[in-house]
Amino acid sequence: MTALILRDVRLAARAGGSAMLALAFFAAVATLVPLGVGADLRLLARIAGGVLWVAAMLAALLALDRLFQADFEDGSLDIIALAPLSLEKTSFAKITAHWLTTGLPLTILSPLLAVLFGLPVQAIGALFISLLIGTPAVSAIGAIGAGLTLSIRRGGLILPLIVLPLLSPAVIFGAGTVLSALDGLRNGALPLLTAFSFAACVLSPFATAAAVRLNLGS
């Protein structure tokens, strides 16, 4: 499994496209929103959690359609599927690699962008923690969509329609975590986000493997 994770991380680093594109998209959205909303720092701080969470989620989705498709198109997926690794473990490795190359860099960049929204330090910390815990769910649930749209031409257009509704709890609880830090209240958003992310990471490899298996037989 480590070999597959390392290969995918290496490919992402060498191709340079998807991770950099995701970071650039995230930075662009986070920069444009304060320009559009204006200089009301109170308002910006209130909406920061939701805006940054939605921006991070959409940025992470940019590279998701290639999660299996590149390997499917060049024949690698057939050979990977015949390896001793089960398709469930293969899916888990792919999810991990996607998170390492997309979700983690987005999380690391988020405190810098949060400054543009005038978020206080404790809320920046909450944003960082919520993205650190929540972005694996984005990769995990996104992988199901990537598996389902594997053999569909231009499946990348359908993928967000499948995945975004499923990711709404992550946005609600993620933004809620930032708001709770901002207001100094405990609203239970972080434990719920943790539970959601954990459940997504545990269950997704099975659903993803089933979707990939279906497409390998097509």
Partner 1 sequence: MLFRDLSFRVEVGRVLSVEGANGAGKTSLLRMIAGFLAPAEGTVALQTNGAVVTDGEERGKQIGWLGHHDAVKPQMSVRETLQFYGALYGGGGPIEPALDAAGLARLADLPGQYLSAGQKKRVSLARLLVCGRPLWLMDEPLASLDTAGKKIAAGLVEAHCAAGGIAVVATHEALGIDCERLVL
Q: And the tokens for 154?
A: 């231009």
By beta-carbon proximity to partner 1, the closer residue of 13 and 185 is 13
Of the candidates 46, 207, 69, the residue with the CA atom closest to the CA atom of residue 140: 207
Q: Which stretch binds partner 1 (CB under 8 A): 1-9, 53-61, 166-174, 184-192?
A: 1-9
Per rule CB under 8 A, is residue 80 in the interface with partner 1?
yes
CB 204 within 8 A of CB 95: yes
- Helix, strand, coil percentages (3-state) for the chain, rounded to 5, are 85, 0, 15
Rg (CA), the chain: 18
How many chain residues are in contact with partner 1, going by CB under 8 A? 24
Q: Which stretch binds partner 1 (CB under 8 A): 10-18, 105-113, 126-134, 147-155?
A: 10-18
Per-residue contact string for residues 154-183; x = within reach of partner 1 by CB under 8 A = ------------------------------
Per rule CB under 8 A, is residue 10 in the interface with partner 1?
yes
Per rule CB under 8 A, is residue 153 in the interface with partner 1?
no
Going from the C-alpha of 45 to that of each of 56, 113, 211, the distances in angstroms are 17, 12, 40
Per rule CB under 8 A, is residue 129 in the interface with partner 1?
no
What is the C-alpha end-to-end distance of the chain, expressed in Å? 25
Output DSSP code: residue 187.
Answer: -
Per rule CB under 8 A, is residue 152 in the interface with partner 1?
no
CB 136 within 8 A of CB 153: no
Choose which of 24, 32, 73, 186 interacts with partner 1 (CB under 8 A).
73
List of residues contacting partner 1 (CB under 8 A): 2-4, 7, 10-11, 14-15, 71, 73-76, 78-86, 216-217
